[in-house]
Structure 1
Amino acid sequence: MARAADAIGLTGTGLRIGTAAYMAPEQAMGQTVTPATDVFALGVLAAYVAGGVLPFGGGPESADGS
């Protein structure tokens, strides 16, 4: 893949990348991601399409968990 010489990397070890509303719990907590993570995201997407609202509410995009 091509990129600009002065571009910075967007990925790295220990970083969590994804849309919080569609992330599986293990992905959000930084644990090992498996194919089940994709199934979870697909299920959330299907629920959103079917119901018109996010299945876990519309809270903030990020939270500190406290």
Structure 2
Amino acid sequence: MSTIAIVMMVVALLAVWGGLGLALLNLKRHPEEDDDEIAVTAGTGSAPGAGANDSPNSSAEGRHRREP
């Protein structure tokens, strides 16, 4: 293998494994909610995402906008 091929292989491996590592870190910091938990907290008979808790952080979009 030539030097440029080895360098490109290392870059590609770092991109793939680095992306996997970042995805796992993101899931650890912001875990997904179970479907059962969403159904219980969302309430019944209303539009998706609108439940008993209509605060900005109760919807699926709001969970990414948490205050520190």
TM-score range, shorter chain: 0.3 to 0.5
Q: Which protein has the bigger helix share?
A: 2
How does the TM-score come out when normalised to structure 2?
0.32
How does the TM-score come out when normalised to structure 1?
0.32
